[in-house]
Each structure stands twice: as structure tokens, then as C-alpha cells.
Amino acid sequence: MAKTFLLEIVTPERQFFTGQVESLILPASDGSYGVEPGHEPVVAAVEPGETRYKVDGQWQSVIVTQGFAEIMSDYAVLLVSTAERPEDIDEARAQRAKQRAEERLRQHGSRTEYIQSKAALARATARLSGVRHRRR
């Protein structure tokens, strides 16, 4: 059995990562979802949060927002709205975005504004969590 599988992380703007990995952990609607080589085929919803993948025995982190993952025995493709490395995140900016989203939620706007504010809050929270996790 193979010891690695191909992982692609794709956003609308770019191909964020392509390479052979040993393991993958992604944030799913029902918790963290682990993938190893030879995994059974599945399609899963990806939630905002930290995705981790192992290359040459070292874990790498990327903060993703909502999307989908197609997982097969020899590859996995993550199609997500955004992907960024924790070290590229401006913590102060993410904190301000979180505060703005929380304020918009308190204002009880339209249904569309509510959905957009919830998505913005989830993204800001995921970004802040990634920055704080990196510091540990």
C-alpha cells in the first residue's frame, strides 16, 4: 500500500498547494476528519478552520474557509473559498474583522446580511485560531 497520496488545495484565485502527503486532517461539519493513503472515496463539506497535512514527517498548517473535499484512495482535492498560512495572517486585522462581524450580527439586518456576517465571523475566528495555535 502507498505511503502517500496526492493533495491539492484549490481556491478560486489559485492553486494553493499540490504535493504528496502522508496524512491530512481537515475541519468538517461534524468535527475533524482524518485522511490516510488508501482512504475510501467520500465527498465532505469543509468548514472554516485549520487544515493540517504531513509532508516528510512534518505537519504543515493552512487556515481554510468553507468548501468541499473530494477524497479518493490515492488523492484528495480541497476546493475552498480561501486558504492561507498562519504566518501570513495579520492578527490585528483579523481581530478587527471579527469585531465588525459581531457588530453586524447584533444589528439584526436582513437574512442575507446575517448569512454574510456569520461567514465573516467564521473566517475571522478561524484565522485568529490559526495565529494563536502557531504561537504555541
d(CA 11, CA 57): 25
User: Which of 42 and 105 is assigned the larger pLDDT?
Assistant: 42
Q: What is the pLDDT of residues 55-109, one digit of tens each?
A: 999 999 999 999 999 999 999 999 999 999 988 877 788 878 878 888 887 887 7
Matching residue, cell 439586518? 109
**Structure confidence at residue 25 (pLDDT):** 97
Q: pTM for the whole thing?
A: 0.79
Mean pLDDT (whole number) for 43-57: 94
Q: What is the pLDDT of residues 102-136, one digit of tens each?
A: 888 788 778 888 777 777 777 777 777 777 665 55
d(CA 23, CA 82): 21
